[in-house]
Homo-oligomer: A and B are copies of this chain.
Amino acid sequence: MRIALIGGTGDIGEGLALRWGVETDHTIVIGSRDAERAAERAESYAETVESCGGRAEFEGLENVAAADGADVVVLSVPPFHVADTVDAIAGSVTGVLVSPAVGISRDESGFHYRPPPTGSVTELVAEHAPEGVPVVGAFHNLAAGRLTDLDADLGIDVLVVADDEDAKATVSSLAEDIPGIRALDAGPIVNAAEVESVTPLLINVAQRNDGLHDLGVSFE
């Protein structure tokens, strides 16, 4: 499988790239607005993965080229860039679009869920996705630091929302390629807001309780 990580030079993109790199034999394409930066990062991830015995292939390309021909395209960009990014790659995307971004504001009380007017970032992606391209919301609640630290145990759940059941199954299976991740079905993408809003909660809890950091969520 060919997986493109659009914005794959960012922290959540790096975490997914390294974990899939070590655990699968997929081809992982790091996308960036800057092709040179994408190539540099792809090479750096490949070295890390190889040193851990991983066998995935890495490529680094500008975002539009990265999306082209990928079976799965993960939009690992900040929430306020998501709509523009989908519009920019719309001509080349044919695979499943995956949205992990969450709109969050911060004030003196902590972190707060701030969805776009569409209801959630996942639904915003669906609004901008080209006709026929399925959209899946997933990986919203992963702590990038814990994902990137390949020695860190996960033992957490990934909530997956999608209207297309095949696309949901593909992404759930990709999530479970990473040991310690269980993928759970949270329904269609209209249910994405409740999934996304867990992310600011995780940050609030991690900041306010001793001994907790880089938290994930588990349903028991």
Contact = CB atoms under 8 A, between A and B. Distances in A.
Interface of A: 109-110, 112-113, 155-156, 159, 184-188, 190-191, 193-195, 197-198, 200-202, 204-206, 208-209, 212, 215-220
Q: Oligomeric state, in number of copies?
A: 2
Contacts of A186: 110, 201, 204-205, 208
A167 B202 CA distance: 22
5 contacts: A155-B220, A184-B212, A185-B205, A187-B204, A217-B217
Contact of A201 (B155, B159, B216): B159
A103 to B, nearest CB: 12
A190 B219 CA distance: 24
A166 to B, nearest CB: 16
B209 A201 contact: no
A205 to B, nearest CB: 5
A110 B188 contact: yes
